[in-house]
């Protein structure tokens, strides 16, 4: 009985292994290549699949999702003979599992080498300045070449990105000095422009203040002249309204004589003809006051004295 049991156990194990090899579960977004006696038979898609055990074999399982592969820095020579190191990142996706398995031995290595050679061709036609400022142009050109070359491999290149472009250390120092000089130049220009603008604003402010001051002085002078004219009119109206006599005018003339004679520069001054009439009127008034005091002779002396005082300024 023991040999029979051993044979049954072997059969059960073989059946179990056969079931395992017969039922193949493929995950989502994956594919498997089936070979029969070393020849491609079919591609297994996601889900439950049945294969012939011990005859069909799974050659390769391929991930159909988009993959990201960073490549190490590659030295590239620019048109002006400068060596720069460029890091690249490739976004690709397998669209045909059969072609990716049989058309190329290692599509990752093939994409890397194709990227390096294409990048050297593109950068070789650009100088350093254009290389640093034309990343989008380089990405587009590199993606077009890669997508065309990898199409027959069953691979689609979705994006190509340049992570970093590192020029030589000496060039980096020179670029840093140039950038510092440009920043200093812009700062000096901005400072000069600020000083110029402030001077313009200050001049405009002074001009405006002078204009306002002149307008204020003109208005003040006009108001002052108008006030003086109004005062003269008021005095004139008051004089006419009061109807002054000759005696009052004579008295006013005598009050104005000291003011006319004021100042060291007044060597010669002219007495108006009306002063004589004023003095006659004033002498007559004083004579009347003297008659009221009872001195007729003194009044006569007063008149001769007044006449003598009036003749002395005429002789001078």
Show pLDDT as tens, one digit a residue, over the chain (316 residues): 577 788 788 888 887 887 887 888 889 999 999 998 889 999 999 988 888 888 888 888 999 999 999 988 888 888 888 888 888 999 999 999 999 999 988 889 999 999 999 998 988 888 888 888 888 888 888 888 888 889 899 999 988 888 888 887 777 777 778 778 888 888 889 889 888 898 899 898 888 888 988 888 888 888 888 888 888 778 777 777 766 666 666 666 666 666 666 655 555 555 555 556 655 655 555 555 444 444 443 344 434 333 334 443 443 3
Which of helix, strand or coil describes residue 136?
Answer: helix
Contacts of 221 (CB under 8 A, 6+ apart): none
Report the 3 state secondary structure along 41-96. EEEECCEEEECCCCCEEEEEEEECCCEEEEEEEEEEECCCCCEEEEEEEEEEEECC
Ranges of beta strands (E only) in the chain are: 23-26, 30-36, 39-44, 47-50, 56-63, 67-77, 83-94, 155-166
Beta carbons of 67 and 32 less than 8 angstroms apart = no
85 C-beta neighbours (distance < 10 Å), count: 14
pLDDT, residue 301, reads 41
Beta carbons of 98 and 154 less than 8 angstroms apart = yes
Among the listed residues 8, 130, 155, 6, the one whose alpha carbon sits nearest the alpha carbon of residue 69: 155
pLDDT, residue 33, reads 92
135 C-beta neighbours (distance < 10 Å), count: 12
pLDDT, residue 289, reads 46
Among the listed residues 188, 191, 99, the one whose alpha carbon sits nearest the alpha carbon of residue 149: 99
Rounded Cα gap, residues 26 and 44, in angstroms: 7
Provide the Cα torsion 56, 62, 65, 70; round to 10°.
180
Type and span of the H or E element at 256? helix 246-260
> Torsion-angle region of residue 13: left (phi > 0), alpha (psi -120 to 50) or beta?
alpha
* pTM score, whole prediction: 0.52
Between the alpha carbon of residue 235 and those of residues 136, 162, 230, 242, the distances in Å are 94, 99, 9, 10
């Amino acid at each position: 009985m023991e040999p029979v049991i051993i044979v049954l156990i072997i059969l059960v194990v073989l059946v179990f292994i056969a079931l395992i090899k017969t039922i193949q579960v493929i995950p989502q977004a994956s594919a498997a290549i089936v070979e029969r006696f070393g020849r491609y038979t079919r591609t297994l898609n996601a889900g439950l699949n049945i294969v012939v055990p011990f005859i069909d074999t799974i050659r390769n399982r391929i991930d159909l999702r988009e993959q990201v592969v960073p490549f190490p820095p590659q030295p590239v020579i620019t048109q002006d003979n400068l060596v720069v190191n460029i890091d690249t990142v490739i976004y690709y996706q397998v669209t045909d599992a059969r072609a990716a398995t049989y058309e190329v031995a290692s599509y990752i290595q093939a994409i890397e080498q194709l990227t390096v050679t294409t990048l050297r061709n593109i950068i070789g036609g650009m100088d350093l300045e254009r290389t640093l400022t034309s990343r989008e142009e380089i990405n587009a050109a590199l993606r077009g070449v890669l997508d065309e070359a990898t199409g027959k491999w069953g691979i689609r290149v979705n994006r190509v990105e340049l992570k970093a472009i590192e020029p030589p250390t000496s060039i980096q120092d020179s670029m840093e000095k140039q950038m510092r000089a440009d920043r200093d130049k812009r700062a000096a220009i901005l400072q000069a422009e600020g000083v110029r603008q402030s001077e313009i604003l200050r001049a405009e402010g002074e001009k405006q203040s002078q204009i306002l001051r002149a307008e204020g002085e003109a208005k003040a002078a006009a108001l002052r002249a108008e006030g003086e004219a109004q005062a003269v009119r008021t005095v004139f109206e008051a004089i006419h309204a009061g109807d002054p006599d000759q005696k009052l005018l004579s008295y006013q003339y005598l009050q104005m004589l000291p003011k006319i004679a004021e100042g060291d520069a007044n060597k010669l001054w002219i007495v108006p003809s009306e002063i004589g009439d004023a003095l006659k009127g004033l002498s007559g008034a004083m004579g009347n006051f003297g008659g009221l005091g009872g001195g007729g002779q003194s009044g006569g002396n007063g008149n001769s004295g007044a006449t003598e005082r009036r003749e002395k300024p005429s002789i001078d």
